Structure 1
Amino acid sequence: MRIPFNLLGLFLVLNLVACKETTNKETAASTEVKTTEVAYNIPDSWIQDRVAKANKRLNATEAGKVLWSAMEAHGGLDKWYGNGYLSLRFNYEPVDGKGIRDSYQTIDTWSNKARHNSITDPTSIFGWDGKEAWVKAKDSTSFAYDTKFWALTPLYFSGHPFVLDGEGVNLELLPKIEFQGATQKVIKATYEAGVGSAPDDYYILYVDAKTNLVSAIKYIVSYPKYFPNGGHAPEKITVLQGTTTVDGIVFAKGFKTYWSTNDKDGLGEYITKISVSDLSFSPTVEENFFSKPEGAKVLMD
């Protein structure tokens, strides 16, 4: 998974008395009331320009056309960016019970920033501000995993196919396959050198030939901190588990992840269940919401 480079951001500070409301009761208790909010005031012209460039670039290749059709089926790239800040609960549960990661998070989809609250301890938080990863927790047990790596990882599950719209993404059209009884168009996404923190990552998307919705995603983890001498973890495949539509965007309600094999459907050992809930978009967040709060620790490489 990846922590992408920072993109363009523009925010307008409004003098309002409000706080960001969430549908998650456990995290609502930890939300501090602020006297200002930052609006998601990305100009429509910026969004239109970005979408137009992606449209032109993607529709110049057969692989890109498949990705663009998937974006349209999932609600459209313009709506993805125009809806504002995305919030969701992402509960990652390995079947062996080790390494559970359950947090409620808000993501700036425009510039790839994120802030997470622990579900079990909502006062414990971590995030990525576009330049630095930070964490503020009562002790090391609050997040028994690499929060820098995880800050944007859920976006690279729930954000497909939209997260592949940027420059520096190379697409390859692979042969169609039959997967779980349906014909799939298949595209592979790789990254140019120097793009993001793990440019050796790749994703292989299965796109249903009839609906153009993403059915499954193959991927590897090549995060250099985990593989300082190069290489990557074995390939996995995650299968979408039903869909829900929020403000016009089609999301998976969950995923089942398996080791990838060459057997029928390519599904090996079932290793992880992921539940996605409390999905919403919001036009505002608290001022400096994604920035390192007082008392937080900056995470170094």
Structure 2
Amino acid sequence: MKHLFYTLSLGLLLFSCKTETKKEATITADTTEKIVEIDMTKYPENLRKVFDAHGGLKLWKSMKALEFTQVKPSGQEITITDLKNRKAKIESPDHAIGFDGQKPWLLNKSNVEYKGYDPQFGYNLMFYFYTMPFILSDDGIKFSEAEALTFEGVTYPGIKISYDNGVGATPEDIYVLYYNEDTFKMEWLGYTVNFVPGIDTKELHFRRYSEWQSVNGLILPKVITGYGFKDDKPTTPKAPNVFTNIKLTKTAPDQSLFDKPEKANFVN
């Protein structure tokens, strides 16, 4: 479960350095507007309608950078990702993690022990949750119908997502996107977890999407809430993840932003 959120489970990190000179999250100007050509026929009709309900896949593919903020007990956690090469950086007051395109890294900025998810998975964990449903347009994904989910008397049709062999670190991962059958907006994500020790790798975990917000013409979530689960069904909600200060642009981030700082360490 390391490609859709490198791929996933729950919770994260990071912000500014006391001993290093801070690199600003600057944007590299790119005035060249490229026409985005997409073969929509490779996606099932219901998924195409989900993409359209969220602003359209063509518009999403024209974007180059995404930034969002979450408030954690340690302070603000700011995530910025290059949408084309998937380089990433997450900063909080005490730590920073990132991915330079080859390896993930961790920077300790204080004496506070780092307790986040392994940076191998954590640098893009919430990014993948947040960029649903558009992240499901990545190469190497297979689609099929899934059994509908019924929760509190409402039924949500499902689209099952699996992977070609060799795609990601755990191609056995399964995801299920559940959508509102009237609006086609995404409502739930079900997913298996294969990289966290001691977790049943076949049972579906759940996150619910709500309070959608429009950002540059795309409909992105403000709130994603994890749920308890039993027998492949969600049970009770947990503390929500709230996303603010969303920046979605057609200009690429300064690539030096993702370089490992001198005092950081690469993570194997």
How far did 1:44 drift?
1.6
Counterpart check, 1:110 vs 2:84 = yes
Amino acid at match of 1:138: K
Q: 1:237–1:257: 8 Å Cα contact kept in structure 2?
A: yes
Match of 1:163 in 2: 135
* CA-to-aligned-CA distance 1:203-256 (integer Å, 9 cap, x gap): 111111111110011112112xx349x962743111113111111111111122
Match of 2:163 in 1: 191
Q: Separation in 2 of the partners of 1:227 and 1:41? A: 46
Q: 1:33 to 1:66 in 2, by over 3 A?
A: closer
SS of residue paired to 2:102:
coil
Match of 2:34 in 1: 44
Counterpart check, 1:153 vs 2:161 = no
Q: 2:160–2:174: 8 Å Cα contact kept in structure 1?
A: yes
How far did 1:74 drift?
0.8
Amino acid at match of 1:193: N
Q: Separation in 1 of the partners of 2:24 and 2:167? A: 37
Q: Separation in 1 of the partners of 2:30 and 2:129? A: 23
Match of 2:209 in 1: 240
How far did 1:141 drift?
3.3
Q: 1:218–1:235: 8 Å Cα contact kept in structure 2?
A: yes
Amino acid at match of 2:243: V
Seq. identity, %: 22
Q: 1:92–1:274: 8 Å Cα contact kept in structure 2?
A: no
Q: Separation in 1 of the partners of 2:223 and 2:217? A: 18
Q: Separation in 1 of the partners of 2:130 and 2:124? A: 10
- Structure 2, unmatched stretches of 5+, are 6-14
Match of 1:299 in 2: 267
Match of 1:137 in 2: 108
Match of 1:76 among 53, 56, 65: 56
Q: 1:101 to 1:231 in 2, by over 3 A?
A: farther
**How many residues align structurally?**
255
Match of 1:21 in 2: none
Q: Separation in 1 of the partners of 2:148 and 2:211? A: 22
Q: 2:192–2:204: 8 Å Cα contact kept in structure 1?
A: yes
Q: 1:92–1:275: 8 Å Cα contact kept in structure 2?
A: no
**Greater length-normalized contact order (CA 8 Å, ≥ 6 residues apart):** 2
Q: 2:82–2:252: 8 Å Cα contact kept in structure 1?
A: no
Amino acid at match of 2:248: F
- Structure 1, unmatched stretches of 5+, are 6-25, 59-63, 94-99
Q: 1:195 to 1:42 in 2, by over 3 A?
A: farther
Q: Separation in 2 of the partners of 1:203 and 1:249? A: 22
After superposition, the CA RMSD in angstroms is 3.2
Q: Separation in 1 of the partners of 2:86 and 2:65? A: 10
* CA-to-aligned-CA distance 1:137-157 (integer Å, 9 cap, x gap): 235735312122111111221
Q: 1:218–1:260: 8 Å Cα contact kept in structure 2?
A: no
Q: 1:114–1:151: 8 Å Cα contact kept in structure 2?
A: yes
User: What TM-score results when the alignment is normalised by the length of structure 2?
Assistant: 0.81
